[in-house]
Amino acid sequence: MSRPRPTSFDEELERRLAILARCEEPDRRLPRTDTIALAAITAGCFAIVLIAQAL
Amino acid sequence: MTKGANRIEAALAETLPLLPEERSWSFRDMLAVKSGLSIATWGFLFGGATGQLVGFVDGFIALFFGTAVGLGILFFALLLPVYRNGCESFVFLRSAFGPIGASLLAVPLVLGMVPFSAAILSTMAGAATEEVLIGLSLFPADSGLPLAAIMSFAVLGVSFLLAARGSDTLRLFNLATVPLLVLLSGGLLAAVFIEAGWDTILAAAPPETRWDRPTRLMLAVELNIVAAISWFGLVGNLMRYGQSARGATWGTWIGLVPVSLLPATAGLASSLALGSPDPVQWMTPLVGPVLGLAMLLILILANVSSAVGLLQGNVTTIIQNFGAPIRQLGFAGMTGILCVIACLIIWFATDALYARFYSITASFGAIFAACIGVLLADRLVLRRSKVDLAGLHDTAGGPYAFWLGVNPAALIALAVGFAAYITLLEPVSQTPNPAFRYLSASLPAIAAAFAVHLALSRVVTIRARRGGYPGGRQAKLEIVDAEPAE
């Protein structure tokens, strides 16, 4: 890390929260298409298990 | 933490919400770290445990689809919000359970699990090291020394030295070793198939049980759902380092689902065809002494890489959730204490570890499943994915304090989910309820905890204006500081 770090854990927490509140963070959300793909894979996998049971 | 004028150590600082410059892992880095976690002893053991329930084809279905179901649910409950907020996983749990509630959960789920898992990993690595040393004629086979235990301690020592150095060492170590680990797992899989033959493996049947095929298949799927959700906070803590949500998510998914199939399928096939999932027992006889010894060396590396990730990810939870006295020990100090506890487990209870591997994992799975149900209801329905990062770190009466730091609604929902799980599947004796065959145990446990948390929160918690939920007067004030809606 390039910025000087304080000596106490609580001071460091305050410093980080202040930086995060100020800075322009990139969007950390998973894009909608990926979210849908992940949900579909998860649900589809359980459906395949049920189909395999029936075979 | 050092006192006086020294800055706090980097590894300790990274247990706090990560800064943008610390979230630098690419897709490749994330894939390497997660692959390094999944290619290890537990991959072979879960494959072997699956092979005790079903044949090869059903086993492969259970390994792939069960793991994908478990991990997928874990993403929506915990991994995605932890990545988004950059905070430690159990710190995020405070939004549902309260700060004291989350710390109480971390006692069994982290303090109880980590030394046990580290002991399993280092025991197998220790046994592999013993084989290597005897194979190289550095020690006689009948030396009378507890060579495997000593080597397990050495492996834990190396893991400690690497884990204590922080996240960048973990990333670089995995980037260097994962190609070898993939080769090892693929090589072992090929060796089992060449030795035993495709037809023999396909025809091999698991030991006789009183359950029919659909029930056995669901038992195997359940085992792998539980294996995946047991990654829980550890995977979230490591995922925070990802540069982009897409790279972090798919690096994690590919590392923990398709890549984990390599050792698990080798364990499944060898359990069915050779009678043991433990590669230490059959590797050298199967591929010859030279190649066998080389593979054993890589297996040691595999377990070291997993142990380093395990310690790195979980020490973060312990530092964040057990107060100032623990922080005084520093990141390295806490890592060392976990390694010492793992050493004691190895010394006193190695055989019990292997014998009860499945029972212990399944019992913890019941708690994890219920916990996921609570988190899904809280995050997706009650909070609509919005939490206040500063509030999560305010343990002295912030918006997530609920009642004395505990959310009774979440704890009751957790208990109901746990009860639903053991009603459908008693984990120690592996006795399923008739409905288990269609429903599994973890999915109904998640659903039960979800419904109870939702109902109690709406009827009691939100009406009492506790927990900073949208809708209460207190919540409206707090949302000003929450992440902006996108």
For residue B356, give every residue at least 6 positions away whose Cβ sits within 8 Å of its Cβ, in sequence order, or none. Answer: none
Question: Is residue B4 scored above 50 in pLDDT?
Answer: no
User: Which phi and psi (to 5°) does residue B348 adopt?
Assistant: -100, -20
Q: Could you give the CA distance from residue B288 to residue B175 in angstroms, rounded to a whole number?
A: 28
Question: Is residue B166 scored above 50 in pLDDT?
Answer: yes
Confidence at residue B197, expressed as pLDDT on a 0 to 100 scale: 86
Q: Could you give the CA distance from residue B76 to residue B15 in angstroms, rounded to a whole number?
A: 22
Q: Please give the C-alpha separations between residue B349 and each of B119, B307, B345, B478, in angstroms, as whole numbers.
A: 9, 18, 5, 49
State the average pLDDT over residues B197-217. Answer: 88
Confidence at residue B5, expressed as pLDDT on a 0 to 100 scale: 40
Answer whether residue B1 is part of any domain: no
Question: pLDDT tens across B353-384, in order?
Answer: 666 766 777 788 899 999 999 999 999 999 98
* Partners of residue B431 on adjacent β-strands: B426
Report which listed range, B76-85, B288-297, B429-438, is most confident.
Answer: B76-85
The helix (run of H) or strand (run of E) holding residue B432 is strand B431-432
Confidence at residue B355, expressed as pLDDT on a 0 to 100 scale: 67
Question: HEC profile for B259-320?
Answer: CCHHHHHHHHHHHHHCCCCCHHHHHHHHHCHHHHHHHHHHHHHHHHHHHHHHHHHHHHHHHH
Confidence at residue B221, expressed as pLDDT on a 0 to 100 scale: 95
Give B39's pLDDT tier (boundaries 50, 70, 90): confident
In this complex, the residue of A4, A25, A38 whose CB is nearest that of residue B20 is A25
Distance from CA of A20 to the nearest CA of B (A): 7
State the average pLDDT over residues B75-92. Answer: 94
State the average pLDDT over residues B146-164. Answer: 88
User: Which phi and psi (to 5°) does residue B432 adopt?
Assistant: -90, 150
Task: Kindly report the average pLDDT of chain A as a whole number.
Answer: 85
Task: Kindly report the average pLDDT of chain B as a whole number.
Answer: 86
Answer whether residue B485 is part of any domain: no
Question: Is residue B3 scored above 70 in pLDDT?
Answer: no
Answer whether residue B18 is part of any domain: no
Distance from CA of B19 to the nearest CA of A (A): 7
Question: pLDDT tens across B335-353, in order?
Answer: 999 999 999 988 887 666 6
State the average pLDDT over residues A8-31. Answer: 85
Side chain identity, residue B137 = S
Handedness of CA B116, B117, B121, B124 (dihedral sign): positive
In this complex, the residue of B16, B20, B244 whose CB is nearest that of residue A23 is B20
Confidence at residue A39, expressed as pLDDT on a 0 to 100 scale: 97
Q: Which residues in chain A have their CB less than 8 angstroms from residue B4's CB?
A: 7
In this complex, the residue of B66, B214, B249 whose CB is nearest that of residue A30 is B249
Question: pLDDT tens across B127-136, in order?
Answer: 878 877 787 7
- Cβ within 8 Å of A, B 11-40: 12-13, 16-17, 19-22
Give B478's pLDDT tier (boundaries 50, 70, 90): very low
Testing the interface with B: which of A20, A33, A48 to mutate, by most B Cβ within 10 A? Answer: A20
Q: Could you give the CA distance from residue B333 to residue B12 in angstroms, rounded to a whole number?
A: 11
Q: Could you give the CA distance from residue A16 to residue B272 in angstroms, rounded to a whole number?
A: 52
Q: Spell out the domain ranges in chain A.
A: 9-54
In this complex, the residue of B61, B324, B390 whose CB is nearest that of residue A49 is B61
- Cβ within 8 Å of A, B 242-261: 244-246, 249-250, 253
Testing the interface with A: which of B6, B80, B215, B481 to mutate, by most A Cβ within 10 A? Answer: B80
Q: Please give the C-alpha separations between residue B54 and each of B185, B218, B462, in angstroms, as whole numbers.
A: 21, 10, 47
Question: Is residue B121 scored above 80 in pLDDT?
Answer: yes
DSSP code for B381:
I
Report which listed range, B286-290, B317-321, B413-417, is most confident.
Answer: B413-417
The number of domains in chain B is 1
Q: Could you give the CA distance from residue B442 to residue B229 in angstroms, rounded to a whole number?
A: 10
Give A38's pLDDT tier (boundaries 50, 70, 90): very high
Q: Could you give the CA distance from residue B225 to residue B232 in angstroms, rounded to a whole number?
A: 12
Q: Greater confidence, B191 or A44?
A: A44
Q: Choose the weakest-confidence range: B77-81, B237-241, B314-318.
A: B314-318
Q: Which residues in chain B have their CB less than 8 angstroms from residue A12's CB?
A: 8, 13, 16
Q: Could you give the CA distance from residue B230 to residue B225 in angstroms, rounded to a whole number?
A: 8
Reported ipTM: the value is 0.89
- Neighbouring C-alpha atoms within 13 Å toward the C-beta of B302: 32
Give A41's pLDDT tier (boundaries 50, 70, 90): very high
Question: pLDDT tens across B227-252, in order?
Answer: 999 999 889 999 999 999 999 999 99
Answer whether residue B413 is part of any domain: yes
- Cβ within 8 Å of A, B 218-247: 218, 221, 244-246
Confidence at residue A3, expressed as pLDDT on a 0 to 100 scale: 53
Question: pLDDT tens across B299-314, in order?
Answer: 888 888 888 888 988 8
Give the tokens for residue B391: 């509030």
For residues B29 and B171, is the Cβ–Cβ distance under 8 A? yes
Residues B178-202, buried b or exposed e (16+ Cβ, 10 A)? bebbbebbebbbebbbebbeeeebe
Q: Could you give the CA distance from residue B436 to residue B362 in angstroms, rounded to a whole number?
A: 14
CATH code for position B146 = 1.10.4160.10
Longest dimension (CA), chain A: 63
Q: Could you give the CA distance from residue B135 to residue B385 in angstroms, rounded to a whole number?
A: 55
Give the tokens for residue B367: 């708690």
Give the tokens for residue B71: 């991990």
- Taking CA–CA distances from B86, the nearest residue in chain A reads A28
Q: Which residues in chain B have their CB less than 8 angstroms from residue A39's CB?
A: 72, 76
Question: Is residue B485 scored above 60 in pLDDT?
Answer: no
Confidence at residue A6, expressed as pLDDT on a 0 to 100 scale: 59
Give A49's pLDDT tier (boundaries 50, 70, 90): very high
Answer whether residue B474 is part of any domain: yes
Q: Please give the C-alpha separations between residue B266 and each of B183, B218, B412, in angstroms, as whole numbers.
A: 12, 21, 41
Q: Residue A41 and residue B61: Cβ atoms within 8 Å?
A: no
In this complex, the residue of A16, A26, A41 whose CB is nearest that of residue B68 is A41
Q: Residue B21 and residue A2: Cβ atoms within 8 Å?
A: yes
